[in-house]
Amino acid sequence: MHQHTDTQKKHARTQLSGLLPGELEEAVVRLGEKRYRAVQIFSAIHSKGVDSAEGLSQIPSALRQLISGEFEISLLRPVRTSVSELHDTQKFLFTLTRLPEVKIETVLISEKGRNTVCVSTQAGCNVGCEFCATAKLGFRANLTPGEICSQVYLVKKLSGADVTNVVYMGMGEPFLNYDSVLRSLLLLTNEKGLSLPGRRITVSTVGFRQKISKFADDISLPENSSIRKVKLALSLHSTDNGIRESLIPSSSKNRLPDIYKELVYFYRMTGTKITYEYIHFPGINDNPDDIKRLASLSRMLPCNINVIPFHPISGELNGLLAPLNLGPDPDTKKLLSNHRLNDLIASLRDQKVVVNLRNSSGVDINAACGQLALAGEKHLSETH
Ligand code: SF4
């Protein structure tokens, strides 16, 4: 007979923080306890960030023991915090308790009175986007709902920040770990836990056919009313499918006309504006035709367009910045103030397109968009 090691047994245990209140109630009753204990446990984990059996101080010690025997409670181990010297941004490195060799990163961006946690949904990613440091890691693991939520609770605890917003824009493609992402949204917005308003959460995808429409259907279900107003962002980066394919390989099978149809459906079902993320690649997606197509896209549906400066992946400019002639090692300031970026934004505004320039929070600690790759921090202060 196959012998399980202790570690394997441990891995097989259910993660306590992944259970919704009804499921937790069933588990508590099964352990011979009163239902109301489930609410105490749920709120300790999801509202107070308790991640150990000892921390469940409101419940009797006999129940604590039963729970710690049956469930996995502590899901992530903090390894390091990197603090930006340029922006109010911190990056957190965690390992997964169930797979200690697997690491993930989470970012906290504090600006304009908001504390936004950017969570990872996968360790690594296999989509292979040309501009993304996570792609270079390949795929390592899908995160569980509890591991996604724990990033928010641990960042809150480690930084002392009151989390106001969550964006699913860290490592991984959320729609390739769909069920865990959906459940994590239900957990984060549950009124007995953190109770984060759905409209303060954004899920960002490169776009997969049938996933956007499924997401629209799922968040519109009456039982999922807490996540009905969750926002959707499409990593667009080019309105030309050929160019987009060279940047995002999965777009050869998920072509823009099909993605646009699903976005229309999403808007019809939820009434929520779409956000388009548009990393500026000079000479590649800032030509007059790009501007015309972006302008007409912006009239298709109520939307926001976020233009993001391209952040070179540490030590590599991937040729994507070559048209700027910035030399081999341009500094951040040069990258962010280049005239082609300003011209792109001005041309879009001339066409009455509502466009925001997203700044590069945490670029010095490789915490900005597309830079999460578990290494290569510069200028960082380590707190762990
Ligand atoms: Fe994956 Fe997103 Fe990076 Fe593309 S941009 S490789 S989908 S993490």
**Considering its fold, how many domains does the chain have in total?**
2
Half-sphere exposure of 11 (CA within 13 A, CB side): 9
**Same domain? 184 vs 53:** no
Measured in Å, residue 107 CA sits from the centre of ligand 1 at 16
User: How far apart are alpha carbons 334 and 44 in whole angstroms?
Assistant: 47
61 located within any domain: yes
User: How far apart are alpha carbons 318 and 276 in whole angstroms?
Assistant: 23
Active site residue 303: no
**Same domain? 176 vs 308:** yes
**Same domain? 160 vs 32:** no
Ligand 1 atom nearest to CA at 176: 7
Ligand 1 atom nearest to CA at 235: 5
**Same domain? 354 vs 239:** yes
Nearest protein CA to atom 7 of ligand 1, as residue: 173
The fraction of the chain above a pLDDT of 70, given in percent, is 84
296 located within any domain: yes
221 located within any domain: yes
User: How far apart are alpha carbons 270 and 325 in whole angstroms?
Assistant: 44
226 located within any domain: yes
Nearest protein CA to atom 8 of ligand 1, as residue: 172
The larger pLDDT score, comparing residue 25 to residue 382, is at 25
366 located within any domain: yes
CATH classification of the domain holding 18:
1.10.150.530
Set 33, 105, 277, 377: catalytic member: 105
Q: Which domain holds residue 62?
A: 13-72
For the segment 68-109, what is each residue's pLDDT rounded down to a tens digit?
A: 999 999 999 999 999 988 878 999 999 999 999 999 999 999
Span between the terminal Cα atoms of the chain, in Å: 43
What's the residue count for the chain? Answer: 384
CATH classification of the domain holding 362:
3.20.20.70
Q: What's the whole-number mean pLDDT along residues 299-315?
A: 84
**Same domain? 38 vs 142:** no
**Same domain? 63 vs 120:** no
For the segment 255-301, what is each residue's pLDDT rounded down to a tens digit?
A: 999 999 999 999 999 999 999 999 998 888 999 999 999 999 999 99
**Same domain? 262 vs 207:** yes
**Same domain? 26 vs 152:** no
Measured in Å, residue 117 CA sits from the centre of ligand 1 at 18
**Same domain? 166 vs 246:** yes
Active site residue 369: yes
Measured in Å, residue 68 CA sits from the centre of ligand 1 at 36
**Same domain? 183 vs 331:** yes
Nearest protein CA to atom 4 of ligand 1, as residue: 129
Measured in Å, residue 233 CA sits from the centre of ligand 1 at 13
**Same domain? 136 vs 216:** yes
Buried b (16+ CB within 10 A) or exposed e, 300-338: eeebbbbbbbbbbbeeebeebbeebebeeebeeeebbeb
289 located within any domain: yes
275 located within any domain: yes
Ligand 1 pocket list (CB less than 6 A): 125, 127-129, 132, 134-135, 171-173, 206
Q: What's the whole-number mean pLDDT along residues 291-319?
A: 84
81 located within any domain: no
**Same domain? 235 vs 316:** yes
For the segment 202-217, what is each residue's pLDDT rounded down to a tens digit?
A: 999 999 999 999 999 9
